[in-house]
Structure 1
Amino acid sequence: MLHKQLIRRLDLITLQLFVAVHEEGTLTRAASREAIAVSAASKRLMELEEVLGVALFSRTAKGMSLTGAGETLLHHARRMLAEVEKVGIEVGEHLQGLRGYVRMLANLSAIIQFLPEDLHSFVSTHLRVKVDLEERPSTGVVEGIIDGVADLGICTMDSDTKDLFSVPYRHDRLAVVMRPDHPLANRAQVAFSETLPYDHIGLHAASSINSRVHAAANALGESLRVRIHVPGFDAVCRMVQANMGIGVLPYKAYELFGQGLGLTVVPLTDDWSHRTLLLVVRERDALSPVSRLLFDHLQLNE
């Protein structure tokens, strides 16, 4: 009897609502996201908990969080919704070609340097696939993939990727951008230690580059002279142009933003300046067909 009741209650709308409440943290935001009245959403959750005989959420003034039973249902709900999407996509292929929706999280370096061309080549081939891309620092990318906010993520290799499945995405190299009249501007390459006597333009505190340069300075027993923090590579280059200091950024970011401002770039000799970006997912085999297509398209083939 419980089995039949469960089948009736586990409709797709209820499952999507359940996942949305977990991801949004409140019933109100989840109901808005799923275009359901709050009262109707509340009723669906209550009926689901009644038929299961367990509480799925702990309800507090700050919001709703999963219980142990809720964590178990979340695992199965995501698999079930992914399978339904897979059925729809594979049937649809017979009519008008592959279609679908992929959610991505990526750090600034990947978005600026590589993803525009990589995504263009992908959607040019798969015209009916839509990609939702959100920028987050590498640690935020990992957290988002674990929490199910997105299907694919790109972060730096030195990130703690927990139990996520990962493959190399791209390689880049960090360099120092400066004005042409800077004392280091005529060097073919420079050690990071040689930049420490000068003021630096720092990226935001959560960025992996910011963490790397501070860690490198600490390893040398020095403090980094950060004159100002800015949110992106373009802002670093503008501050350098205004003679506020020097900045560390990927070489390709200099080509995109600094070269046109008349700035000079000098590669770093330090081993940590050579970076690998990772493509991360929860489970490769559990990806939807369109997510798997994009995953295969993006992973580095060396």
Structure 2
Amino acid sequence: MERFEKYEWTIDSDHAGERIDKFLVEQFAEWSRSQIQQWIKEGHVTVNEKEVKANYKVNEEDEIVVKIPPQKDLEIEPENIPLDIVYQDQDVVVINKPRGLVVHPAPGHYSGTLVNALLYHIKDLSGINGVLRPGIVHRIDKDTSGLIMVAKNDLAHESLARQLKDHIVHRVYVALVHGNIPHDLGTVDAPIGRDPKDRKKMAVVHKNSKHAVTHFIVKERFEGYTLIECKLETGRTHQIRVHMQYIGHPLVGDPLYGPKRTLNIDGQALHAKVLGFEHPRTGEYLEFDSELPEDMDRLLEQLRTKH
């Protein structure tokens, strides 16, 4: 039996009146509008359990279901890519992901990802997210390092996904940003959606956006830079990167949101340092802490020497 990847949304007032193909393009960064229109044509998209056309305008409270058909003859191969496994039991794996490693395969990019490595190192992974994302409950960007949790079965996957949705998961990131933040702590409460001028980017926008809150504490100040600790209240795509750019302090090394000339680091200076969640089977609270990667450590030492 073919297994479809299933996604569901309930339309809120911000999206009411949008064409359904436009709404879905905003949700799936990796898929083109023409691909989404093809799914609609083939009946893989329903609104309130009925098929619609691509020009259908969604209404508030509409129930949208998308079932992405499996790619024909697509097999994601296990690859012997080294993994830093911080914790593992019968339900959950916690990985310390290096910078530069993509979390899951996407169209045109089916190898060299965390999923390929997981298939090699881990015997069982949940199947809820289909062939492209086995075990993947959440993701961190390719050029962000740090802790990510992976589900080994569907029970674990459903529990961890629910905790993420209910904002129970404790996540703390460390970031090095441009400029000196004068106050010792702050909160950025600004909605994030796809950048209307560039769909590869996210931005603080008030239409077609989602509520997003980032709390930060200043840990150390340098000449022209600030080291901060960020706690996520919500988990939007590129959230910390977008929020820090929005307040005028983009991340060092950020290829999308930062200045071109920056310190010598390959990708943004952002590390998912702390991850805490309730164990899906026992209910016990587990928390993990990881060291900063070597390149971030080296940058900080250089800045301290200059200070």
Give TM-score, length-normalised by structure 1: 0.26
Q: Kindly indicate which of the two structures has a greater share of residues assigned to strand.
A: 2
Which structure has the larger Rg?
1
Higher relative contact order (CA 8 A, sep 6+): 1
